[in-house]
């Protein structure tokens, strides 16, 4: 008795394929058979019966066996499941405001895509052809659709969290890591900060219980590094605007200083005029007094000499104050120029480091 799979049924025989790959015929043992059914029966030895047949019929038998083999292989392939085809090797959550979880197989192709919040469910309608897409293409589609929908604005980061299942493979892990690094470099050119972090199966289960992504759970636990904000190099147009602004401010400062100087001169002239009035008043008092003429003359000479010395001293004080102001102004301008030169040197060094 032999076991085999039913391949063909006619009025006289049942043709079956044995585990050894041999096609044998057997007599009917029941009323009906189904193609693909596994049966056990006694095969009929047809080789003796066919020995006297011409070579033509032997060739036809060989061709029939070959075609039947191909049909059997095709038939069996429909029933034998490819267990490795739909196995998730790694989960990758992408969080912007929409949160997605992507399932990747061993070839890092997408075999599942789940929207984890309302924003993601809306965007999922715009990504119909996600099946069998690559790691970088699905990430690009999610980021671009998020950007076009207004979710990804300036200063907002993209968080990619990967969780590898228990079946670790060093080569695949390295390819996954390299793929994410390429994505980060590409979006760095567009001033979009992409942060990546790895997590565990246990953390993912805890996130599933809370109905959120693995990345969101890590954010809640403050386990996600903050993205480094790079210093942007000022464009030429902005630098020109800064120079114009600085020139305008300097002009206003000079205008203010000139007004102050003019007011100081006016005050000086006013004081001088008052002093002259006082001087004339004193002179008139002496001249109108009853003292002798020679005493009056002597007194007036002393007053004149005294006023002259006072005037000279005041002029010296004014000049001294002016010199101090000028020196202070020059020192301030020198310090400002020195500071500007240091800043330019730092900017040049920063640009060289970036290059």
Return the higher-pLDDT residue of 99 and 290: 99
pLDDT band at 71 (very low <50, low <70, confident <90, very high): low
Stated pTM of the model: 0.45
Beta strand 194-198 with 158-164 is parallel
For residue 88, what pLDDT is reported?
A: 92
Q: Express each pLDDT in 34-56 by its tens digit.
A: 787 888 777 775 443 343 444 44
For residue 62, what pLDDT is reported?
A: 45
The C-alpha atoms of residue 273 and residue 279 are separated, in whole angstroms, by: 10
Supply the mean pLDDT for the chain: 78
Q: How far is CA 45 from CA 20, 65, 168, 209, in A?
A: 17, 16, 53, 64
The C-alpha atoms of residue 6 and residue 15 are separated, in whole angstroms, by: 6
For residue 102, what pLDDT is reported?
A: 95
Q: In which element (H, E) is residue 290 found? A: none
Q: What percent of the chain clears pLDDT 70, i.e. is strictly above it?
A: 80
DSSP letters of 75-87? HHHHHS--TTTT-
Supply 177's token pair: 């890591």
Helix, coil or strand: residue 207: helix
User: Is residue 50 within 8 Å of 65, Cβ to Cβ?
Assistant: no
Q: How far is CA 14 from CA 22, 67, 83, 159, in A?
A: 14, 17, 32, 62
């Amino acid at each position: 008795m032999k076991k085999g799979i039913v391949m063909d049924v006619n009025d006289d025989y049942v043709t079956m394929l044995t585990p050894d790959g041999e096609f044998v015929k057997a007599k009917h043992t029941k009323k009906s058979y189904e193609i693909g059914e596994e049966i056990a029966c006694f095969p009929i030895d047809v080789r003796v019966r066919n020995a006297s047949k011409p070579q033509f019929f032997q060739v036809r038998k060989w061709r029939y066996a070959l075609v039947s083999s191909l049909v059997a292989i095709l038939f069996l392939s429909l029933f034998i499941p490819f267990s490795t085809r739909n196995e998730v090797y790694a989960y990758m959550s992408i969080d912007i405001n929409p949160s997605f979880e992507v399932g990747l197989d061993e070839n890092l192709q997408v075999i599942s895509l789940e929207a984890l919040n309302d924003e993601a469910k809306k965007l999922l309608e715009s990504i119909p052809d996600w099946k069998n897409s690559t790691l970088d293409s699905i990430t690009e589609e999610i980021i671009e659709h998020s950007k076009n929908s207004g979710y990804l604005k300036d200063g907002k980061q993209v968080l990619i969290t990967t969780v590898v299942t228990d079946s670790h493979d060093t080569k695949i892990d390295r390819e996954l890591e390299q793929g994410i690094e390429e994505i980060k470099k590409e979006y760095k050119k567009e001033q979009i900060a992409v942060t990546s972090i790895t997590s565990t199966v246990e953390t993912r289960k805890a996130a599933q219980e809370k109905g959120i992504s693995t990345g969101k759970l890590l954010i809640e636990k403050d386990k996600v590094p903050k993205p480094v904000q790079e210093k942007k190099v000022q464009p030429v147009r902005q630098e020109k605007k800064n120079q114009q602004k600085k020139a305008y401010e300097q002009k206003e400062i000079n205008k203010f200083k000139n007004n102050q100087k003019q007011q100081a001169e006016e005050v000086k002239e006013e004081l001088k005029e008052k002093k002259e009035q006082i001087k004339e008043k004193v002179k008139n008092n002496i001249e109108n007094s009853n003292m002798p003429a020679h005493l009056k003359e002597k007194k007036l000479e002393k007053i004149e000499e005294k006023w002259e010395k006072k005037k000279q001293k005041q002029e010296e004080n004014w000049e001294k104050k002016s010199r101090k102001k000028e020196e202070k102004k020059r020192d301030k301008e020198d310090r400002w120029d020195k500071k500007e030169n240091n800043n330019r040197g730092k900017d040049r060094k920063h640009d060289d480091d970036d290059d």
